[in-house]
Structure 1
Amino acid sequence: MAQVTLSVNGRPYVVGCEDGQEAHLTELARLFDAQVRQVSQDVGQLGETRLFLMAALLLADELADLRGRHAGLQSEHARLQAEAGGIESRATAALEAAARRIEKLAGA
């Protein structure tokens, strides 16, 4: 297991992670640090625990919004796929009907 030192709100935190995940964890900590710093700028220093809680809640809210948007997009994608299937079926039927008429005309 690897260890990485992360900096959040100017303080170092040593955390463990799976080998090879150090860069990913460092990037996550960078995102969290940016949120913590933004909260600190917006409302002032609340104490580290409250500051971290506010930042985590804002990130959780953003995540919930993104999950909702993702679910909506998945529904729209499924609807469009079903619609495309119907269009494809109608196009196939029209082509088959045209082919039958052409064959009928050619045989006459």
Structure 2
Amino acid sequence: MAAVIVTIAGRTYRLSCDDGEEPRLQKLARYIESKILSMKDSFRDVGEQRIVVMAALSVADEAADSRSKAEALEADVVALRAELDAVRKAAAALEERATAAVEDAAQRLERLEADLRKPAVSDDFPF
């Protein structure tokens, strides 16, 4: 188990994390710290604890928006997969119809060829 030391809102924290997760945790802490600093600049007369809560709510709002977008994208993927499946079925049906049409045409050509190979009517008839 690894540990990371981060500073958020002027306070230092020692946080445990899985091995290899240190850079990610440090990056997240820097992001939270930047939110807090941004809000401090915007709301100078607001207390420290309130700024931290506002930053947490801002990050939670971003996360909720991201989840909503991800869910919408997942719904789009489901719809696109259904559309793709319908297109594949339509293509398969068209292929079957085309194959049947080619087979029918081939049979007609064979019959025509056979008709053309039949001997002509002989001149022996008195017509």
TM-score under structure 1 length normalisation: 0.90
Identify unmatched segments of 5+ residues in structure 1: none
Which amino acid in structure 2 is aligned with residue 42 of structure 1?
A: S
Question: 2:40 corresponds to which residue?
Answer: 40
Moved more, 73-82 or 4-13: 4-13
Distance (Å, rounded) in 2 between the aligned partners of 1:107 and 1:97? 15
Summarize deviations over 1:21-63 as a string: whole Å, max 9, x none.
1111101101111111111111126333221111000000111
Identify unmatched segments of 5+ residues in structure 2: 109-127
Structure index of larger Rg: 2
Shift of 1:8: 2.0
Question: 1:78 corresponds to which residue?
Answer: 78
Question: 1:13 corresponds to which residue?
Answer: 13
Question: 1:60 corresponds to which residue?
Answer: 60
Distance (Å, rounded) in 1 between the aligned partners of 2:62 and 2:103? 60
Which amino acid in structure 2 is aligned with residue 16 of structure 1?
A: S
Q: Which structure's relative contact order is higher, taking Cα pairs within 8 Å and 6+ residues apart?
A: 1
Q: Which has the higher helix share?
A: 1
Question: 1:87 corresponds to which residue?
Answer: 87
Distance (Å, rounded) in 2 between the aligned partners of 1:30 and 1:17? 16
SS of the residue corresponding to residue 13 of structure 1 reads strand
Give the direction of change, closer, same or farther, for the CA distance of 1:10–1:45 in structure 2 (3 Å limit).
farther
Distance (Å, rounded) in 1 between the aligned partners of 2:15 and 2:99? 69
Identity of aligned pairs, percent?
A: 34
